[in-house]
Amino acid sequence: MVSEDFKSMLQGKSVIRQLSEYATARGAEIGYENVFDYSLGNPSVPTPKSFTDAMIRLLTEEDPMTIHGYSQSQGIPRVRQAHADFLNRKYGMKYTAEHLFMTTGAAGAIAHATRAVTKPGDEVVTIAPFFPEYMQYINRTGAELKVVPAKTSDFQIDFDAMDAAINEKTMAVLINSPNNPSGAMYSEDTLKKLAALMYEKQDKFGHDIFLISDEPYREIVFDGKEAPYPAHYYDNTLTCYSYSKSLSIPGERIGYVAVNPAATDADIISVMCGQISRGIGHNCPPSIIQLAVSEVLGETADLSVYERNMNILYDELTALGFEVTRPGGTFYIMPKAPGGDSIAFCNKAKEYDLILVPADSFSAPGFFRMAYCIDTEKVERSLEALRRLMKTY
Amino acid sequence: MVSEDFKSMLQGKSVIRQLSEYATARGAEIGYENVFDYSLGNPSVPTPKSFTDAMIRLLTEEDPMTIHGYSQSQGIPRVRQAHADFLNRKYGMKYTAEHLFMTTGAAGAIAHATRAVTKPGDEVVTIAPFFPEYMQYINRTGAELKVVPAKTSDFQIDFDAMDAAINEKTMAVLINSPNNPSGAMYSEDTLKKLAALMYEKQDKFGHDIFLISDEPYREIVFDGKEAPYPAHYYDNTLTCYSYSKSLSIPGERIGYVAVNPAATDADIISVMCGQISRGIGHNCPPSIIQLAVSEVLGETADLSVYERNMNILYDELTALGFEVTRPGGTFYIMPKAPGGDSIAFCNKAKEYDLILVPADSFSAPGFFRMAYCIDTEKVERSLEALRRLMKTY
């Protein structure tokens, strides 16, 4: 008999998926260029040529038995070494190859990191708003995801709520900065306070509490800033990364877990991830993709369009009277819905061919998300639709 | 705290891995060409040029946003359609794209198929000898792997033992033909008897029992034969495939689950696999690799070396008096160890720089496995070492 547990998951299509399908269908009617589709967080800028060149070079110059051969379950040694070297240069860390575990994207990274530091029945704390797939990534390990409500004034962390959420069963805290869906980036001050609180809780409960830091938007940061690197502030940090956004290769499923060398059991966590992979059918990310990303470390697609789009939208949204926190990074912005009912607002927006996503499923009820990973020209054309929509409020 | 469960797995290095490392170390001493390394089941023939060409064509001619873009979690629709069409042509099946789920190799396929048709506490029956990673693939789902002892006379199935092993908790039977490590291929007769028994048990226990058929060696078949396609004989079949061996791309982690259209809930199992993938960090196999394999369906590397090696070894082994079943396929052969103690025998063999693997970890105690995915020239040179070894028995 098929699993009733997984069968039951077939009922609910995600709101984002529904809206994206609506946008596609509406596009078939009126031309997709006339649908202001802010639904999907899908990179919109081309993959850098250097990545393509690296792939072609591997295919034409290297031994196929090497580039297509088995990777160790932790990843190809030279790829892990290159990552350690790069991260050490960029962030002043002391990683060795042994601290790296190559994964199938951030999803694979979080799935492994969580299994490495929790057991069924443990709790993992995350902070609203958050990517709804976290529910799956965490709860399917047997641990339980606990949610700290959003600090809606600036989408940093409500430390009183955080303090109350961490208990003796808490084995990990999962953060995502820059954040999907709010676009907020945790400040150095926020990360320092978070570290202080987590150190205090470790002492209080007498066990490690790991920080699982999901950082796929780390390179999409605005105003000339750099994202602070959370592992700097807290020893027990497992940095989870994906190249999906920085290289515009979301389909190639490549990322890593980097284990802070100062973490408890730092020398074995990556090896443990290799063991974990045996039971979940992951094994290792594709060899050629591992090799290709290791040849373009530090390079990114031209990400400037996201900041341009953010500024256009932020200026218009604030001019129109929206309550909105200015994003520090990502390609999302999350204003408050006028009237307070985000579902009603996003439904109304569809009448103007504006596809906006209620942020309720991101645990930010009353807000809506705009994924502005679309052409700037379309962002500009969408402003008139936004204005007409707001006249009805 | 790190998971004690996974930490405990760090102790035991696999026997194969130990022997392979020994072979590498010994090679550093005497030259690897002088080590007759039969330890690893790693394809030894080059990836076909058509696969490389397909990759390069995708990289140079197609839109990077398409070839590197997100795949649906079930796989890219046109890739799934191409697979359905191909399998229908080749095996006379009636798959549609909806019956295909693209996976990260056979490991990913078995991990998903098992979760789709079992729940924790259920039992999955497999038949010795078997790939020891099955223990991980199955037991980590929460189901329990039950092992039917080997029929050592020909490595088909002992149906009395099989009959006794299937009970009301059995939700799936996991087979692997052609078989790692024995090289045996189930005959049509065996598959028909297996189907009859499973139909009988379904009736008796009043629930579905799925056949999970692991077929990575399907194209490595000897004597001009074709491997019978298990889904032909039994409706509730989930065919698990990997391109690792047929295309010599084990590191690219690409395969699929094909759900027999005649199976119970055939229309939803692939969609369920997509849901399952959300919790285990798999999401989808890399887009460009999905696209590339779909362009070379039915092609294989030049696999003839494996049959040539098998014949040389089989003739010599039988001439030397080994008890051995002639392989029907794969790149393995599994003779009985003279004296009955395979560990002692394989240790002795190391003195002759013959690296043989005791098959005890494959649930075939007293046998040893030779993975003859090596150059024919080396197989030929190894015969003298085999002869000298046998003189001591």
Q: What is the CATH number of the domain that holds B355?
A: 3.90.1150.10
Domain final position from A295, A315, A339: A295
Residue of A nearest to B208 (CA): A1
B245 plus B379 within the same structural domain? no
A43 plus A105 within the same structural domain? no
How many separate helices (H) and strands (E) can be counted in chain B? 14, 12
Q: What is the CATH number of the domain that holds A290?
A: 3.40.640.10
A196 plus A255 within the same structural domain? yes
Domain final position from B294, B321, B336: B294
> What is the reported pLDDT for A8?
79
> What is the reported pLDDT for B6?
80
Helices (H), A39-76: 49-61, 64-67
pLDDT, tens digit, for every residue of A293-320? Answer: 999 999 999 999 999 999 999 999 999 9
Of the candidates B5, B105, B133, which has its C-beta nearest A278's C-beta? B133
CB of A71 within 8 Å of a chain B CB? The answer is yes
Q: Is the pLDDT of residue A124 over 80?
A: yes
> What is the reported pLDDT for B1?
77
> What is the reported pLDDT for A12?
65
A275 plus A313 within the same structural domain? no
Q: Is the pLDDT of residue B282 over 90?
A: no
A382 plus A276 within the same structural domain? no
CB of A132 within 8 Å of a chain B CB? The answer is no
B116 plus B65 within the same structural domain? yes
Q: Where in the sequence is the domain holding A161, given as residue range(s)?
A: 50-295
Domain final position from A266, A295, A324: A295
Contact B111 A285 (CB under 8 A): no
Of the candidates B3, B55, B115, which has its C-beta nearest A3's C-beta? B115
pLDDT, tens digit, for every residue of A152-200? Answer: 999 999 999 999 999 999 999 999 999 999 999 999 999 999 999 999 9
In the DSSP assignment, the letter for residue B33 is: G
Distance from CA of B81 to the nearest CA of A (A): 18
Residue of A nearest to B40 (CA): A70
B26 plus B80 within the same structural domain? no
The model's confidence at residue A214, banded by pLDDT at 50, 70 and 90, is very high
CB of A245 within 8 Å of a chain B CB? The answer is no
Number of domains in chain A: 2
The residue behind tokens 């990973």 is: A373
> What is the reported pLDDT for B13?
66
Which residues on A lie below 8 Å from B276 (Cβ)? Answer: 6
| Structure ipTM | 0.94
Mutate to test the interface with A, among B51, B104, B207, B265 (most CBs of A within 10 A): B104
B39 plus B68 within the same structural domain? no
| Whole-angstrom distance, CA of residue A234 vs CA of residue A212 | 11
Distance from CA of A184 to the nearest CA of B (A): 24
| Whole-angstrom distance, CA of residue A107 vs CA of residue B277 | 10
Contact B249 A68 (CB under 8 A): yes
> What is the reported pLDDT for B12?
65
Share of chain B above pLDDT 90, in %: 89
Contact A108 B282 (CB under 8 A): yes
| Whole-angstrom distance, CA of residue B25 vs CA of residue B35 | 10
Structure tokens at B236: 């509730």
A258 plus A150 within the same structural domain? yes
Q: What is the pTM of this model?
A: 0.95
Which residues on A lie below 8 Å from B251 (Cβ)? Answer: 67-71, 284, 286-288
The C-alpha torsion from B43 through B49 and B50 to B53, rounded to 10°, is 120
Residue of A nearest to B49 (CA): A64
Mutate to test the interface with A, among B2, B117, B212, B270 (most CBs of A within 10 A): B2
Q: How many CB atoms lie within 10 A of CB B106?
A: 30
Contact A47 B70 (CB under 8 A): no
> What is the reported pLDDT for A278?
83
CB of B251 within 8 Å of a chain A CB? The answer is yes
Contact B68 A5 (CB under 8 A): no
In the DSSP assignment, the letter for residue B207 is: S
Mean pLDDT calculated for residue range A103-109? 92
Contact A140 B2 (CB under 8 A): no
Of the candidates A279, A280, A287, which has its C-beta nearest B252's C-beta? A287
Could you give the C-alpha distances from B20 to B35, B365, B371, in angstroms and in order? 11, 20, 11
A348 plus A259 within the same structural domain? no
A170 plus A306 within the same structural domain? no
| Whole-angstrom distance, CA of residue A339 vs CA of residue A393 | 8
pLDDT, tens digit, for every residue of A7-60? Answer: 877 776 678 888 988 999 999 999 999 999 999 999 999 999 999 999 999 999
B249 plus B262 within the same structural domain? yes
